[in-house]
Amino acid sequence: MKSYHSLAWKELWTQKVTSVLILIAIILSTMMTTVIGQSIGILSAMREQQAASLNGNRYATFHQLTEDQAEAISTDDRVSFAGSCITLGTTEIESSGLSLLLREYEGDALSAYPSLTQLDSGRLPTQADEIALPQDVLDLMGYSGKLGDTVMLTLHISLMHDNEEPYEYTSEFTLTGILKSNYIGYVSGSVSGVVGSGSAKTLLPEKYQLMSTDIRLHDKSRFQQIVNDFGNSFEIPDYCIQYNDILLSALEIDYDGKDESDASGFPFMAAAGVLVGALVLMAAGLVIYNILKISVTKHISEYGTLRALGAESVKLYILVAMQLAILCCMGIPFGVVLGVLSAKGITIAATSVLSPEIFLANSHEELAALILQNSTGKLLPLVVSTAITLVFAFIAVMPAAHYAAKVSPTLAMSGTTVHVKRRNRNTGHIRCFEAFYAKMNMKRNTGRTVITILSLVMSITVFIALQSFSGLLDTASSVQKMHLGDYSITSETVGFAPEVVEELKEQPGVSSVSTLKYSLYTQDKDGNLPINTSITLQPSEALHIVGVDEERLKTLAPTLTNQQIQDLKSGNACLIKNPIVMAYGEDAMEATSISTGDVVSVSAVELGVIGVCNGAVTLDNDGFVNGVQVIVFDTVYDRLTGKNTYSELYPVLTADTDRDIAETVIDQICTQAGGHWLSYQNTDKQLEESYQQIKLLAWGLILFIGLIGLLNIINTTYTNIHTRVNEIGIQRAIGMSIASLYKTFLWEGAYYGIIAGIIGAVAGYICTIFVGAAATDQIELVALPIIAILQATVVSIAACLIATCLPLRQIARMSIVDSIETVE
């Protein structure tokens, strides 16, 4: 034998159909890994862009800086971007629950807030007496003027943790620009406007002319260390350092103050990504292995002949591996090219459907540049894709090569490689011969059946898991959690009677109503409180009594046990929010501190402290009045305060509710109680829109991988049928009709699809649980993805049946003699 290389070529040329099927599997596997590799950068970039658009393209902000401090931070070589602004104050927008915050931005600082640079009309302000406001703010203010008219605003400003009354003033501004409406701030109760340069020096006392500086850093891994260094160098207190949680989470940057109360310590997000990636690679590898295993089994007698002629076992390994290497050399470059083109096509399709303004880009070209920067320009994903395909292909070929090498020459040349053991000849009554025969065929070669089913299972599992995984890309979901209902209905004075709440719950279209009871008690000049309590407050601290429902208790303290919830509901326990420790220079003021396990008394009711909350519960999106919050269950609040009225309601509507009718009812409730309401409909719509292009791109990726999985199913099933041509010829020779032959193999295809669908549904659900844990940081049962399971199962069964019919039609046209004599 001159060369195993020439023999490998001859083998591939002889078994043309099998070679083509393996080549297709390699191309599809390479395309799959290439598309994923290319799309990871695109999806990551778009997710970061979404996070930056929601809360500013900044990692952190230092507040109340002097001009020298802001300049020193801005020029530090560790900082990649710095932008400073001065706050001019806030004004309450009447009957809305919102406050308008005005800022003056220095230099290119406004570039960190792309939502404030999008104009409906006019221009951004440049002079001290100029202003630009969003259209929705002008509507809420009832402003009827036009560009060039004046806007009269009464503003108030104070320092963070100030011990003086806020400074209040009134000023006129010329409206130079109308910004596009931005509803994201509604969840925090604050909307923003922009004033021209020089406004602060004209309108504010020197005490309040302090700067806030936004930063981004070159080295993300040392983020917290650098922030701490700035804080220590410039004596910036912790409460003057604000972290952009949304963007930091999207960039996976660790920082102090990150809410880890419900973290389990296991990196579920990384695990979910590894899990989905492993499933994709297993699906690709199993297809290659299945076809190779069938091919090797079919030609086992030829390998036996080679062994008889003196070929060593290692030579057969080389022969099988060389065949795969030749096919990889042809298939991988082609798959890479198709993968790059496919990823580009998916991206173009996704980004051309919606406006680039959703991602706060000014044009499709700008958005395309962002995507191009994070996709095809990088060679690493292509190299990794090629390497992954090669590794998994050769891992897949090793069992087949081992199978070929271990068979003895005598047994292989005899043509008998499978020993059939009939343990039970009693078949019982056969209702459908074709179905019975199909099951016998599947049992006759258990290994082939198992591998075929596993190939289908992997494709189904990947499709289900990817649908769940795409939800993790939405950074807006954390913002949506900041409001409890579709509306907030507030009455700060009279309150809402319990009867009103019950009537609201019974309104058509109202699915649920979350509630808040709230009382604020401040000290008089002698330090006394108008309520009896064992809590000793420090000067300037207030006491909050807060009553919430069970669901909100679980939100405030996710680790509560069932017994602790019962203790809260029975009035034996409470949650505590401690005051913020204030510091002036290096001197920290004393603050009240209550710990878990302490016992406090309010209105002669003793309450055990079972948890200390990090976040405060505020009314009407107001800021936190520094002090101690005692958080109890709804009915316990009545015992402590002697009041039973609700301060704020958060109704949730069903999807098909007529909002006009619902808002009429809400209007009536507010009129009776002297309150006001705020809708989050536009907020949720804007948050959803910010995710649409990511969602479209993710679904494009899901459907493309699903298509590849579908083609792999067809490839596997086609191989399974086409390598049994002589077997089919024998069946026809002993009298099986064409119709019966079709039914037999269709039953076999249906069995493959049904069994794989059931196993894939279970495996997909398990993957969905792990993917869900990446969002909640705890493993728990999630809703069964019924739609995804049905889609994957039905399509898989249909693909099996179609892939069965196509080769059978061709084989059925062959003569019986040709079928029996077919080598391929």
Confidence of residue 638 (pLDDT cuts 50, 70, 90): very high
244: its two tokens: 């952009």
* Higher pLDDT, residue 62 or 803: 62
Q: What is the DSSP letter of 127?
A: S
Highest mean pLDDT out of 359-363, 519-523, 695-699: 519-523
In angstroms, the first-to-last Cα distance of the chain is: 23
Question: What percentage of the chain's residues is helix, strand, coil (to nearest 5)?
Answer: 55, 15, 30
Structure tokens at 228: 């701490």
Region 569-574: what's the mean pLDDT? 94
Cβ pair 609, 534 in contact under 8 A? no
pLDDT at 672 over 50: yes
Nearest to 453 by CA among 9, 753, 108, 669: 753
- Residue 83 has φ and ψ, to the nearest 5°, of -140, 135
Question: What pLDDT was estimated at residue 453?
Answer: 81
* Average pLDDT score, the chain: 80
Phi, psi at 301, each rounded to 5°: -65, -35
Report pLDDT for 376: 47
Structure tokens at 653: 């509507």
**Predicted pLDDT of residue 360:** 47
Higher pLDDT, 703 or 439: 439
Predicted confidence (pLDDT) at residue 578 exceeds the cutoff of 50:
yes
Give residue-wise pLDDT tens across range 640-667: 999 999 999 999 998 888 888 888 888 8
pTM: 0.68
For 136-190, the DSSP string reads HHHHHHT----TT-EEEEEEEE--TT-SSPPEEEEEEEEEEEEEPP--GGGGGTE
d(CA 545, CA 637): 7
* R_g (Cα) of the chain, nearest Å: 34
Return the residue matching tokens 């019919």.
805
Residue 85: CA atoms inside 13 Å, Cβ hemisphere, count? 22
Report how far residue 336's alpha carbon sits from residue 35's, in angstroms, rounded to the nearest whole number. 9
For residues 121 and 179, give the distance between their C-alpha atoms in angstroms, rounded to a whole number. 7
Which tokens belong to 409?
């020459």
- Are residues 84 and 212 in contact, defined by beta-carbon separation less than 8 angstroms? yes
Evaluate if residue 602 carries a pLDDT over 90.
Answer: yes
Looking at per-residue confidence, does 818 or 122 come out higher? 122
- What pLDDT was estimated at residue 640? 94
Lowest mean pLDDT segment, chosen from 70-79, 308-317, 469-478, 747-756: 469-478
3-state secondary structure of 718: helix
Q: What percent of the chain has pLDDT over 70?
A: 74
pLDDT tens-digit profile of 387-410? 777 777 777 677 766 766 776 666
Residue 210 has pLDDT above 70, yes or no: yes
- Scan for tokens 């940081």, then name that residue: 777
| Residue 788: CB atoms within 10 Å | 21
